[in-house]
């Protein structure tokens, strides 16, 4: 494995010796840089990106690790631990991870000389910094795994090769599957049925979701499934041990609840649980969520969409909106406009679809 260091990072690593480099498959080459998250702060974020797939490994609060004092072999172990951790957090199996590390071989360091890769690395660092600064407090990033917190956005950010667009997670998965010749995923997952009851019609999304994600991440997945834009506040309510647990998006609402980003599904959910998700306290979209099953070894990319039913309204739709006028007509076969409206909209509104694809690979048009 070859890791190219930027000049800025090399200055912080006096004990690391640079090699001349070799003709190696770019799937086994990485570029690593150091940057600061906050403009008035010290450099505190390492960003390592794969030169072929652009898959990112993020290491936040690096001052804790005293990089300047690390011998080369210790720095190699440090990076490999973070790489394994990052791949594992994305859901890759231990077998696939070790197959990659074995094939990559011993780690050597080189001087970074690729302008395009440096540009991508810088862009990745900027997006990570914005996300940390805007949405995540630094204490949580130190206490928990920064890759899991940050990388969903970064690993699904598309890049162009020729005329085609790819995402880092898709490219990494394809290469790992070619290497191992089998599924590379292995995760604990909940099967959830997410329903929005509109009185005359119920919209359904049935999905598999990692048991280790937070309630914040569940919220973001539901937003994508509904094709909404996450403009409004939300609340999860779950009855557990005789009391109601509430999960909010912001700290100033925590007088009777918990912060959604700080609690994982696996700590609260079990098969048979039913709980609610309310989005936008103006329109008051009230969802029912049921835990249908738990799979200890789900071998596909998550989140995974099993099936869907119905087309969702706009998140800001009022009950005078055309969506609800159409729904009103479709709910009454005796309505004089029923035949015409059903011909045009009936299939879109009511169709049940077997999707069986990862959310990242679906064109959501339901």
pLDDT in tens, 110-147: 998 877 777 777 777 777 666 666 555 444 444 444 44
Q: At a CB cut-off of 8 Å and minimum separation 6, what does 123 contact?
A: none
Position 351 scores a pLDDT of 78
Position 68 scores a pLDDT of 87
Tell me whether residue 71 is exposed, middle or buried, using C-beta atoms within 10 angstroms of its C-beta: 0 to 12, 13 to 18, 19 or more. exposed
Position 106 scores a pLDDT of 95
> If you search the block for the tokens 């009936």, which residue do you land on?
346
Q: What are phi and psi of 275, to 5 degrees?
A: -145, 170
Q: How far apart are CA 36 and CA 42, in angstroms?
A: 6
- 3-class secondary structure per residue, 3-52: EEECHHHHCCCCCCCECCCCCCCHHHEEEEEEECCCCCCCCCEEEEEECC
Residues of the chain below pLDDT 70: 38-41, 64, 128-162, 253-254, 318-320, 363-366
Closest-CA residue to 57 (of 150, 181, 187) = 150
Bond into 303 cis (ω within 30): yes
State the sign of the Cα–Cα–Cα–Cα dihedral 236, 237, 239, 241: positive
DSSP per-residue string spanning 315-327: TT--TTSHHHHHH
Closest-CA residue to 169 (of 301, 288, 76, 71) = 301
> If you search the block for the tokens 């007088």, which residue do you land on?
255
Neighbours of 9 (CB within 10 A): 22
Domains and CATH numbers, the chain: 2-180 (3.30.420), 188-361 (3.10.290.30)
pTM: 0.80
């Amino acid at each position: 494995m070859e890791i190219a260091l930027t000049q800025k990072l090399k200055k912080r690593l006096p004990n690391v010796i640079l090699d001349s480099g070799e003709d190696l498959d770019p799937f086994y080459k990485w570029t690593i840089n150091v940057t600061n998250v906050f403009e008035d702060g010290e450099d505190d974020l390492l960003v390592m990106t794969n030169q072929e797939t652009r898959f990112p490994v993020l290491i936040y609060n690096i001052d804790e690790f005293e990089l300047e004092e690390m011998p080369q072999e210790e720095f190699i172990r440090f990076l490999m631990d973070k790489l394994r951790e990052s791949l594992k957090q994305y859901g890759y199996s231990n077998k696939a991870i070790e197959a990659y590390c074995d094939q990559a071989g011993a780690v050597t360091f080189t001087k970074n000389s690729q302008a395009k890769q440096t540009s991508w690395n810088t862009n990745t660092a900027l997006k990570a910094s914005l996300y940390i600064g805007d949405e995540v407090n630094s204490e949580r990033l130190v206490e928990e795994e920064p890759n899991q917190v940050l990388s969903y956005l970064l690993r699904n950010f598309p890049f162009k090769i020729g005329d085609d667009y790819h995402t880092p997670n898709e490219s990494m998965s394809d290469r790992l599957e070619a290497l191992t010749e089998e599924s590379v995923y292995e995760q604990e997952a909940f099967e959830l049925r997410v329903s929005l009851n509109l009185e005359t019609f119920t919209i359904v999304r049935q999905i598999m979701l990692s048991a280790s994600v937070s309630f914040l991440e569940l919220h973001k997945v539901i937003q994508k499934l509904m094709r909404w834009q996450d403009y409004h506040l939300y609340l999860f309510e779950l009855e557990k041990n005789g009391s109601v647990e509430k999960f909010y998006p912001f700290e100033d609402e925590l007088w009777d609840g918990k912060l959604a980003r700080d609690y994982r599904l696996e700590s609260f959910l079990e098969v048979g649980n039913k709980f609610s998700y309310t989005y936008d306290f103006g329109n008051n979209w009230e969802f029912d969520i049921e835990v249908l099953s738990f799979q200890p070894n789900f071998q596909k990319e998550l989140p995974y969409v099993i099936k869907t039913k119905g087309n969702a309204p706009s998140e800001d739709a009022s009950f005078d909106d055309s969506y609800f006028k159409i729904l009103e007509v479709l709910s009454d076969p005796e309505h004089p406009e029923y035949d015409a409206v059903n011909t045009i909209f009936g299939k879109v509104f009511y169709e049940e679809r077997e999707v069986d694809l990862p959310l990242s690979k679906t064109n959501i048009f339901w």
